[in-house]
Amino acid sequence: VTKSFGERLLYEDLNIDVPPGAIVGIIGPNGAGKTTLFRMITEQEQPDNGALTVGSTVELAYV
């Protein structure tokens, strides 16, 4: 997955495989792209390049 805003590149060739049953947390400084990643996972935003596949048994939660 690749995602940028104007000249600002957030992700380039991002590839994440999460095994079944895993619990994943996303942390980082302000402006790192955490919310953008979550919006792409929930299909509220589209990547510039590539595709996201979320399994049918995945449960998403956020605080």
pLDDT tens profile 5-53 = 999 999 999 999 999 899 999 999 999 999 999 999 999 999 999 999 9
Long-range contacts of 56-61 (CB under 8 A, 24+ apart): 57/20
Residues across the chain: 63
Q: Give the containing element (helix H, strand E) for 35.
A: helix 34-41
One-letter amino acid at 60 equals L
pTM value? 0.84
